[in-house]
């Protein structure tokens, strides 16, 4: 692991290498999340999922039962400490497909602190798979984010344009395009005014031509745009 300081406009390009299947060492870095504590609700429809994400009391864990959910709108998290996670712990068991949305652009929009999104597949959102809106300490863990229109993960500053997201984690996830990347605005994670984020043990699994079209000279897996601060990258 190393720590470095970024200035506004610095791009970090990471070459694409074939990723081996995770072994014992990899799994030791990516253990299952502990069982939920506190208030827990279980949902089995896309409407209930969106309703609970928006209205559940702070600190609630929302367990999503196995299945494919054809989302009609984006998921909006508004209260602190909400966790949305697949009930089985296997990210392939719960698929949130945003390809047929009637309104909205994002997959999951996070407008609260201390939110965890885990053990899910998120695919076919028009703009971003997960969008963090200047909120602190988000955890994105064991996700499969696939075939998104823009950045797979986007971290924006607060609405005031000054304060940014602090101490986030993107870990143990698979970032993937199965065909051609849609445009040059496509990155694994793009962050503005993000501080103290840790990005580790993620796999980029593109189609051979997918990132070639979007970034013919260098894959931009991580793009941090800010006035200073620190981020950590490992694995």
Dihedral of alpha carbons 97, 99, 103, 105, sign: positive
22 found inside a domain:
no
Q: pLDDT tens-digit profile of 37-50?
A: 999 999 999 999 99
- Does residue 115 register a pLDDT over 90? yes
Asked if the model's pLDDT at residue 160 lies above 50, the reply is yes
Contact 229, 195 (CB under 8 A): yes
CB 105: neighbour CB atoms within 10 A? 15
**Residue 23 forms part of a structural domain:** no
The stretch 74-79 carries a mean pLDDT of 97
Residue 32 covered by a domain: no
CB-count exposure of residue 187 (10 Å: 0-12, 13-18, 19+): buried
Tell the residue number behind the tokens 């300490």, with chain if given.
137
Per the CB < 8 A criterion, the answer to whether 229 and 194 are in contact is: yes
Judge whether 21 lies within some domain.
no
Please report whether residue 132 resides in a domain: yes
Give me the number of domains the chain comprises. 1
Query: What confidence category does residue 183 fall into, taking pLDDT thresholds of 50, 70 and 90?
Result: low
CATH of the domain at 118: 2.160.20
With contact defined as beta carbons under 8 Å apart, do 132 and 156 qualify? yes
Domain-located, residue 36: no
Cβ neighbourhood burial of 158 (10 Å; 0-12, 13-18, 19+): middle
Bridge partners (DSSP) of residue 163 are: none
Q: Is residue 221 part of a domain?
A: yes
H or E element, residue 213: helix 210-214
Query: Domain for residue 88, yes or no?
Result: yes
Domain region containing 134: 2-15+43-234
């Amino acid at each position: 692991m190393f720590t470095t300081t970024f200035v506004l406009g610095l791009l970090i390009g990471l070459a694409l290498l074939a990723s081996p299947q995770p072994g014992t060492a990899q799994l030791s870095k990516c253990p299952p999340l502990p069982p939920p504590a506190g208030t827990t609700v279980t949902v089995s429809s896309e409407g209930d999922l969106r309703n609970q994400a928006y209205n559940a009391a702070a600190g609630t864990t929302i367990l999503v039962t196995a299945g494919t959910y054809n989302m009609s709108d984006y998921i909006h998290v508004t209260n602190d400490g909400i966790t949305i996670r697949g009930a089985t712990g296997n990210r392939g068991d719960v698929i949130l497909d945003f390809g047929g949305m009637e309104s909205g652009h994002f997959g999951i929009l996070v407008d609260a602190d201390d939110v965890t999104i885990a053990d899910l597949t998120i695919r076919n959102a028009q703009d971003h798979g997960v969008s963090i809106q200047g909120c602190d300490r988000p955890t994105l863990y064991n996700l499969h984010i696939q075939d998104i229109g823009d950045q797979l993960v986007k971290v924006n500053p607060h609405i005031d344009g000054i304060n940014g997201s602090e101490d986030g984690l993107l870990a143990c996830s698979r970032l993937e395009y199965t065909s051609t990347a849609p445009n040059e605005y496509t990155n694994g994670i793009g962050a503005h005014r993000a501080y103290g984020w840790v990005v580790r043990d993620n796999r980029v699994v593109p189609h051979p031509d997918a990132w070639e079209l979007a970034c013919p000279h260098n894959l931009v897996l991580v793009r941090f745009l800010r006035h200073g601060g620190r981020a950590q990258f490992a694995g």
